[in-house]
Structure 1
């Protein structure tokens, strides 16, 4: 009989103890050790210990009723062994609905709840393990992309140095070709002036006489006729009047035809003086017909040659300068601490959502194309906009096409960890303000904050 009394007493005290500590996390159990009195955790009041969990709220912070619904501000701790522990409002204790997966919140209700913590824990662990596998694979791929980014960065830097060297060489060539062109132009000018002054006509008389004779001999029959003189020779002081036949005959010495020999000793001298007549559309005597002089032609050809070479070098220099400027702009972009995002440059990623196709070209622009083919800019590359501790988790694309309500379209791109690089989703939470989820290995971080699953399992 005494043995049964002892067992009953032990059972009773066990029930009392479990009543006292129900709804308490292990870190708070030190406040609920069996003693004569209980101090409210906020220190506001001291009460007899038997008033703990007596279904009456004595403490303002609700700490005396962790296992009942007596206190409006109270919290009940779900142990949830095998899953994530968490708190629920005390008002949900014994309300007939199981809020804790271990059913500990319905210890004194009509609800018949099963303990689902094990299954939930399994799913949670499977999820975390999957996340960890994704993270491990993502970090492995990220390391590859970092190595590729470093190599690509070095290649771009080497390319820039080469282009700058080419530009320097072209600059030297430009100066040389400009000097040669100026010399050729100066030589051409000097040759023309010498011929116009008559000096060239004297030094190159034979070739000049022949050139002028051939210029006047339109039909190339070896003689100059009256009609050819009338067609090509005009008075110096009245260029608009056509010579009469008598005037033309007088210039030909009274004959209707003049050969080269007679021309050399008669009409050529008259034309050379340039005081009475000249060849039409020229600015003086035959010596001014510089376009027909072989020395002028040679000078002009040399000047044209140098001008052509100069133009080619100028075009090459301009092309190289544009390439340098474009490359410098690309290299000025922040591609991450290890240039891990550099591989995204010049890449574009598409996603179709209903009747629209969205295209994200990192570090360039975002567009939206309708099923009818109309394309709208949703923003151009602006900046990284992630928090200070994780700066490279968000991109902003600004100054897209104007919205009908005013203002420009903008897009915010959030980067998430994944084993593939792809555009995952596009939303428009507010008019002309777009958000995108962009998955890529380079967004993976070495530490993934794991959810709180009990270590016992």
Structure 2
């Protein structure tokens, strides 16, 4: 700097834009810089001293490193020319393959050019193979699309047919329902009248003590002593002194023992226990009408007594009260067929609807020419940084057992896939994955990294990403 300062006026001229009104003349074999307002003579170009504010006089040295956007041109004859920052000139590292940025660097451009050619040839072969596989992917999925269209047509036709069948069958079934309801009502009324007449006749021929005994036997046989106990203590109209003296626990225990004895076929013990129940309930004081209510209600559930005990109890059980819920008794063969046909049509409709819904779920954007369609739901794995990663195309992605997202959308003209809404990450939000797609001759999950906390980046190579 000291040397240059002594002679600066004779060697380097820097003039303001308003000074003398024009730019200085460039000396022979010298140069102008700083938009022409500075001129440098030949001897001071690339002399390891920065004369120009834009650093252009030291393109072959590092003297102007960090000044403006100065750069050094690596001509790299035989390979590819490139520019490097002047700060990397004479820094001891060979950046130019021709060695021009450093003293003592060998010219490696021929070797670099050979590597570049081999790499391009390899990429070209891989791209060619990838395009061939992509064409196969497109053709295969086109067949799937045709199959899906055929299945959609079939499902839609079956849905239409089922709806028509249902419209035709519903009024027929409703007509049969009305007819059966009328027959059921008539039969129930007749059976009820017959049953009530049978009850009246049975009770009219029995003495009060027989009715009370039948009530105990039927309640015990039906394992329903609770009904008998409730009638006696609540609605039989007995004096409070009688009901207060009844031991509920004792009565219920005797009832359980009596039912067990009957189930074991020990009729003698059953009779003894029934007598004990009658005594514990002061049954002799219970009006016959109250005993009738118990006998009538429990007779429906006391079928076990039919083969063990005769008398009034058996007669009441044998009466068989009408069952209004027995629809089969009133259904005709024609009505049964109509209902079966309607049920089948409804099942057919539901099946066709589910099929159409499933086909709608399959309608998705699979990229240009649907090339990615054959990869739907296919999963690929790799291990990176001690974790096992799995990527399922158009579905989900995971790191070991942790979700790092579900497929959400395409980006960058089908060059990127975004997976969002993975497992929540404290202080960050849900995990997410960005998948960069590369053309290749095979489907491979190359790598996965956590670029930011809970933000993952993956590279997936596939023939589907090859562009024609």
TM-score interval, smaller chain = 0.5 to 0.7
How far apart are the structure 2 equivalents of 1:156 and 1:35?
A: 80
Deviations 1:92-129 (A, max 9, x none): 444554332212223xxxx4322111112111211111
| Corresponding position of 2:464 | 442
Number of residue pairs matched? 337
Which residue of 82, 106, 109 corresponds with 1:86? 82
How far apart are the structure 1 equivalents of 2:329 and 2:406?
A: 56
Which residue of 345, 348, 368 corresponds with 1:337? 368
Which residue of 283, 304, 319 corresponds with 2:351? 319
Q: 1:319 to 1:34 in 2, by over 3 A?
A: farther
Which residue of 176, 188, 191 corresponds with 1:184? 176
Q: 1:425 to 1:187 in 2, by over 3 A?
A: same
The normalised TM-score by structure 2 is: 0.61
Q: Give the RMSD, CA atoms, in angstroms.
A: 4.0
Quick check: 137-146 or 351-360, which moved more? 351-360
Q: Does residue 66 of structure 2 align to residue 66 of structure 1?
A: no
Which residue of 88, 97, 103 corresponds with 1:101? 97
| Corresponding position of 1:299 | 331
Runs of 4 or more off by more than 6 Å in structure 1?
A: 235-239, 289-292
* 8 A Cα contact 1:149 1:338, kept in partner: no
Gaps of 5+ in 2: 1-25, 200-204, 215-287, 297-317
| Corresponding position of 1:364 | 395
* 8 A Cα contact 2:384 2:449, kept in partner: no
- Bigger helix fraction: 2
Q: 1:85 to 1:150 in 2, by over 3 A?
A: same
| Corresponding position of 2:293 | 240
Q: Does residue 404 of structure 2 align to residue 378 of structure 1?
A: yes
Instruction: Give matches, 1:152-231, under 5 Å.
Output: 152-195=144-187
Deviations 1:52-74 (A, max 9, x none): 44444333222233233332333
Q: 1:434 to 1:100 in 2, by over 3 A?
A: closer
1:344: how far off?
Answer: 0.8
Partner of 1:436, secondary structure, is strand
Q: 1:96 to 1:344 in 2, by over 3 A?
A: closer
How far apart are the structure 2 equivalents of 1:138 and 1:411?
A: 25
Partner of 1:320, secondary structure, is helix
The normalised TM-score by structure 1 is: 0.62
| Corresponding position of 1:76 | 72
Q: Does residue 450 of structure 2 align to residue 410 of structure 1?
A: no
Gaps of 5+ in 1: 1-32, 202-207, 217-225, 244-277, 283-288, 370-374, 447-457
| Corresponding position of 2:265 | none
1:148: how far off?
Answer: 2.1
How far apart are the structure 2 equivalents of 1:427 and 1:238?
A: 85
Q: 1:34 to 1:183 in 2, by over 3 A?
A: farther
